[in-house]
Structure 1
């Protein structure tokens, strides 16, 4: 990549049952850090979030966390971060992460991860931004989601071009090159105005 990337990563506040998913989070963090990049994430010290952040910092990257007040204990706000923002609510968290990011990556996670992912994809579909997103499909974790998107398109609830709102890769090492390719083709990614973003929240 020609310059360090500010990458927002959505992922689980739990580690899940498969060690390969934890390892994927660590490898992605190492890639971000060794590339001199910035990780923007949910600010928690537990689960894949914690593994990702610690690996990024260990590799020399900058880390920015956003966590709502009501999740400080549940997701264990990571006070070791160089930059931690405790915000009032979930929407402020998502908007803060959006504003600090040039691109997005989705690691395995639960309903919160899906919520964050679909909001950013919806904003992109509506033309509020053109920041790229990569789904890291470790061991086929996101295969059911990809099948659902195909189903939505096949049933006529979305146009075929919606499949191009995101890119799918299978390994952590493929994330940054995939984003670099798309950013090079879209050198002037736009940012949604606050008013429009809040209206859609």
Structure 2
């Protein structure tokens, strides 16, 4: 029996030597924990990118993406037009303010809060979808002087605008979406 084991080991050693000399021989490297996590991070980033791209395509051209007879497309189009009207109203107020300020700037508009039907939609005020309207306004309509946001005021939301140089996204996720939209559609 010991001879049998020696023969098997010898045969295995010879096969292993031939395999190692073969030009096709490659040793499989066990994946490290780092590469596993890197792959998971890449997969997550790709899922986020795909989600942002598909969602923004709908906001960018709702009727094209959802169909001419789509109620959702019509609703998104109304929302976009409401945001554009609010932007133009706010910008007009700021232009009038600038024209009518006295020499020392003591008399001026301090705060403008707009009522908008958008403020009644939870998908925009707390559902994370408003960033797509913001991107549409900024990139598609080239309205880049002021950026919109919602402010909670006495148990309801009002639509406000901030000069773009002072604007801060509410969280890193919104900033990430904005940058993804910019890179995927406008670079």
**Pairwise TM-score range, normalised by the shorter structure:** under 0.3
Q: TM-score, normalised by structure 1?
A: 0.22
Q: TM-score, normalised by structure 2?
A: 0.23
- Flag the structure with larger Rg: 2
Higher strand proportion, which one? 1
Higher helix proportion, which one? 2
Q: Which has the higher contact order (CA 8 A, sep 6+)?
A: 1
